[in-house]
Amino acid sequence: MDLSQTLMELEQHLLSQPTRRDAEEISHLLADDFIEFGASGSVWTKADVVEQLPHQPFSQRTISEFTAKQLSDNTALVTYRCHNIAIGQRSPANSLRSSIWRRQDEQWQMVFHQGTFIHPR
């Protein structure tokens, strides 16, 4: 499997309901030094995400325009559009996303993530 496909699958895994409900799986996918700049303007650490994500309302999302750029042998940047497909969503539903993934001991973990809402025109 190539790098782009591997990282796309990991991003999709993190967006899935079973993963978002499983603190242990979330902990496995996020690096200990993980940080997120959320679309809401909040800053999240790994501990914040592991503690709070399983209790957040689930919203099904899809990914488009996915790209992966290898930054070094063990790091990669991914960017994509994330589409919230929930009906009746009141806030902006789509966002631009970027993540930095780091491979350690043959396992990829997310080190950084940022979401930016795309406001409807």
Q: What are 54-81's pLDDT values in tens digits?
A: 998 888 899 999 999 999 999 999 999 9
What are the DSSP calls for the chain, one per residue?
A: --HHHHHHHHHHHHHSHHHHT-HHHHHHHEEEEEEEE-TTS-EEEHHHHHHHGGGSPP--EEEEEEEEEEEETTEEEEEEEEEE--TT--S--EEEEEEEEEEETTEEEEEEEEEEEE---
**Res 38 pLDDT > 90:** no
Q: Which domain holds residue 113?
A: 3-118
Residue with more model confidence, 97 or 105: 97
Instruction: Match 């790209």 to its residue by tokens.
Output: 67
Number of structural domains (the chain) is 1
CATH number assigned to the domain comprising residue 28: 3.10.450.50
Residue 4, token pair as written in the block:
């782009």
Question: What's the confidence (pLDDT) of residue 86?
Answer: 66
**Res 8 pLDDT > 90:** yes
